[in-house]
Amino acid sequence: MAKISTTDLDIFPLALGGNVFGWTADEPQSFSVLDAYAAAGGNFIDTADMYSEWGPGNSGGESETIIGRWMKARGNRDGMIIATKVGKLSRLSGLSAKTIQVAVEHSLERLQTDRIDLYYAHADDPQTPLEETLGAFDALVRDGKVRYIAASNYSASRLAEALEVSKRHGFARYVALQPHYNLMERDEFEGALAEVVRREALSVIPYFALAKGFLTGKYRPGGPEVKSARAEGARAYLDERGLRVLAALDEIAAAHHTTQAAVALAWLLAQPTVVAPIASARNTAQLAEILPFVELRLTQEELDKLTTASAHNP
């Protein structure tokens, strides 16, 4: 377990991604995954109001609804740390005060709870003044509807500016950042964004931690076809660099008698400021491939090998 920044949120090292619930995993499948995750000691579930709006026949809120039903059925809300997001649902987009006020009530209703533990700005909204957005978030914290706030998909400059606005006005401040970050996607986070996070003592909770499934090792040149909604995105990594990463994952996974996915997640968790990668599973078999990383400790040599393999110019 690790704490998020200066909060009292004590989280499991794997944040279970809820983006597949109500999309590639129906409600019974989702319940099975959630049960298995909780049985393994998991307590940190990541979702958003827009999940999974993109699915056929969906309108958004499906993931939150399933999670809410599961917590009610299991009576375990107090044992779970629930993170959800606002700003990217098509009918409630952006981060105006009004949007946030309406969206949070809908999320609370779907989740069947009276508070959200970690509430993210799902993406920066340059059209709305940061004072307005952060003032609205601050009001939710003061009302007890949200415990802590966080940011996702912010640039270094906007994240720094948002933190300064909170400091100037005495508003609740972002305690975490959710960036797109994994072995195959390092450039966006490493550098200026990582420096702001380090300087401001934020925690990092990366999404797409397995590069849309590529880092599970299932996608190989000439390999069997993988039936997945994300297969096309995963295959995009099958270049010279991707093959170097797969080779390193194969070698290290074999040495530890574990999965490539576990090794990839262990590398991510070992990076400065990262407290819990987000990974999703549409069934318990997929969850079983990623859970071993929680106990996996890579040597410095193994970490360096992965870092070198995933560099653009090794």
Position 181 pLDDT exceeds 90: yes
**CA-to-CA distance for 262 and 135, rounded, in angstroms?**
40
Encode pLDDT of 244-294 as tens digits.
999 999 999 999 999 999 999 999 999 999 999 999 999 999 999 999 999
The 8-class DSSP code of residue 295 comes to: G
What pLDDT, on a 0 to 100 scale, did the predictor assign at position 228? 65
Is the Cβ–Cβ distance between 17 and 280 less than 8 Å? yes
Encode pLDDT of 58-68 as tens digits.
999 999 999 99
Position 144 pLDDT exceeds 80: yes
Question: How far is CA 227 from its chain centroid?
Answer: 23
The candidate with the shortest Cα–Cα distance to 184, out of 273, 228, 244, is 244
Position 131 pLDDT exceeds 90: yes
Average model confidence (pLDDT) for the chain? 95
What pLDDT, on a 0 to 100 scale, did the predictor assign at position 9? 97
Query: Which of these CATH numbers, 3.20.20.100, 3.30.1240.10, 3.40.50.2300, 3.40.1190.10, describes 2-216+261-297?
Result: 3.20.20.100
154 is catalytic: no
Q: Among 14-28, 218-232, 293-307, name the one with the lowest average pLDDT.
A: 218-232
Encode pLDDT of 145-179 as tens digits.
999 999 999 999 999 999 999 999 999 999 999 99
In the predicted model, what is the mean pLDDT of residues 13-28? Answer: 97
Q: Could you tell me the pTM of the whole model?
A: 0.95
What pLDDT, on a 0 to 100 scale, did the predictor assign at position 256? 98
Q: Higher confidence at residue 22 or residue 223?
A: 22
The ranges assigned to domains in the chain are 2-216+261-297
What pLDDT, on a 0 to 100 scale, did the predictor assign at position 147? 98
| Cβ atoms within 10 Å, residue 270 | 16
What pLDDT, on a 0 to 100 scale, did the predictor assign at position 235? 79
Encode pLDDT of 56-109 as tens digits.
999 999 999 999 999 999 999 999 999 999 999 999 999 999 999 999 999 999
Q: In which order are the strands placed within the sheet that holds 203-204? A: 203-204, 174-178, 146-152, 116-121, 81-86, 44-46, 15-17, 278-279
- Token output for 283: 């069934």
What pLDDT, on a 0 to 100 scale, did the predictor assign at position 224? 62
The residues, any chain, with a CB within 8 Å of residue 244's CB and separated by 6 or more, are: 309, 310, 314
Encode pLDDT of 203-246 as tens digits.
999 999 999 999 999 988 876 666 666 667 777 899 999 999 99
What pLDDT, on a 0 to 100 scale, did the predictor assign at position 227? 64
Query: Which of 51, 119, 148, 237 is the catalytic position?
Result: 51
Sequence-distant contacts of 285-291: CB under 8 A, at least 24 apart: 286/33, 287/33, 287/36, 287/37, 288/36, 289/216, 289/259, 289/261, 289/262, 290/14, 290/210, 290/259, 290/261, 290/262, 290/265, 291/14, 291/37, 291/40, 291/262
